[in-house]
Amino acid sequence: MPQYLQTKTGRKIAYHHHDGHGPGLVFLGGFKSDMEGTKAIHLEDWAQKQGRAFLRFDYSGHGQSSEDFTDGCIGDWADDAQAAISDLTDGPQILVGSSMGGWISLLMAKRIPEKIAALVTIAAAPDFTEDSMWAGFSEAQKAELNAGQVALPSDYGEPYIITKKLIEEGRTQLVLRDPLLLPFPVRMLQGTDDADVDMSVALRLIDHADGDDMRLVVLKGGDHRFSDPVALKLVEDAIRNVIEVTG
């Protein structure tokens, strides 16, 4: 059973935390995913075997946390992540951000850089509400959204309900328009067969960000889930590498 963190916003954030030595790992999941996914559970098991602290949690409106998904937005989920990292971990952490979690981790680099020892991103999707969703909408979909919401088909289950709030608030959280300082080791992982986040996003991110130790690792044939044994081994290797660098 998860534990719950009551945030200053009144939201209840479900989480699992295991003690261990630092820097600990914090897994940041993707859009409409939860902390029971393959990558989160695999990394939790890996961290426990290493004796390393580990935190996974559900954003509000996701998984076992409070609130409805359609009431949320990027800023809310970033607030949830900031509260979880600040209140539930000791010292700087290695953030492992998957898809939207990659965007959230970049927002944490802006908000709480002192809590970050390193970043590992997996198919990071910064600014996707603007550059992928809004930019890809037809005029009919934009009109429907402006009336309140629009439904998008999903390969992962029920259609995604995209709200006007999600798109409009997302514009206040963009990270690829202004300087983005990443003053710690950063390892970005990306699959060539990712149907949700194009390779160009990873290239744009590494070109845009400013940092002395950034690497992009590309997995030929890798998809967006990045959850098969080969992909998971790459995630482990990236974490090991930043641990070696950070000491």
Q: So what's the pLDDT on residue 113?
A: 97
The total of other beta-carbon atoms located within 10 Å of residue 40's CB is 23
106-136 b/e (C-beta count within 10 Å ≥ 16 → b):
bbbbebeeebbbbbbbbbbbbbbbbbebbee
* Domains of the chain, first to last: 3-127+181-246 (3.40.50.1820)
Judged by DSSP in three states, 103 sits in: helix
pTM of the model: 0.96
Contact by Cβ (8 Å): 16, 41: no
The catalytic site residues sit at 99, 194, 224
Judged by DSSP in three states, 20 sits in: coil
The total of other beta-carbon atoms located within 10 Å of residue 204's CB is 15
- Could you check whether the bond before residue 23 is cis, i.e. omega within 30 degrees of 0? yes
Q: So what's the pLDDT on residue 22?
A: 85
Kindly state the helix (H) or strand (E) to which residue 179 belongs, with its residue range.
none
Q: So what's the pLDDT on residue 220?
A: 96
Closest CA to 28 of 102, 118, 107: 102
pLDDT along the chain (247 residues), means of 10: 95 97 96 95 96 98 96 98 98 98 98 98 98 94 93 80 96 97 98 95 97 97 95 97 90
DSSP 6: E
